[in-house]
Structure 1
């Protein structure tokens, strides 16, 4: 079953990290994700640019309007997305828990709806 994992982080979480922690994350993350790809769990993972570059699009009465930045005010922002393959929800929870960046934020896990 496929699961979408959203990584949520406080805006200053990465800014508060020491240089050694950032270097360690940069070094370790590709190895763990590579292991997930090799065993068939990781389908795709992408980091997102800063929330400052995001916009929100609305369609109302057939007209599109755009709001600068995300529409919803939150204390955290989405930092990346991963699409994974897991046996069940327990497996889906275990897989992104190994991503070291998870200790600086949270991972929201959604089963992907499939149409039969």
Structure 2
């Protein structure tokens, strides 16, 4: 079954890191991805651009409303995700606990919805 591991972190922490600290963090994420790929668990994943680049779209009364900025103003924003193919939810939680963001933010794990009729 596939699970999405949503990475939430305080964007201001990332923005105040030195280049060396950022490089070290990218190395940790790379090591996680390599281990998950080697285990046959990693389906995909990506880092997201800063929330400063976000645009939110809604439709109300058949009118499209476009707002600059993320869906919600929160301290810990969605910064990226991994899609993990695991045998169980517990396995997905074990892999999520290895994502570097767990040490300074949070990783939300959700099963990917499967439509039984599709």
TM-score (norm 1): 0.88
Unaligned runs of 5+ in 2: none
> Is it true that 1:3 corresponds to 2:3 in the alignment?
yes
Pairs aligned (count): 116
> Is it true that 1:15 corresponds to 2:35 in the alignment?
no
> Is it true that 1:115 corresponds to 2:115 in the alignment?
yes
**In structure 1, C-alpha distance between the alignment counterparts of 2:18 and 2:53, rounded to whole Å:** 25
Q: Which runs of 4+ in 1 moved over 3 A?
A: 15-21
> Is it true that 1:103 corresponds to 2:96 in the alignment?
no
**In structure 1, C-alpha distance between the alignment counterparts of 2:26 and 2:71, rounded to whole Å:** 30
**In structure 1, C-alpha distance between the alignment counterparts of 2:71 and 2:40, rounded to whole Å:** 35
What residue is the counterpart of 1:31 in the other structure?
A: 31
Structure 2 contact 3–86 (Cα < 8 Å) conserved: yes
Unaligned runs of 5+ in 1: none
Query: What RMSD in Å do the two structures reach over aligned CA positions?
Result: 1.7
Secondary structure in 1 matching 2:71: coil
1:39 CA drift (Å): 1.6
> Is it true that 1:86 corresponds to 2:86 in the alignment?
yes
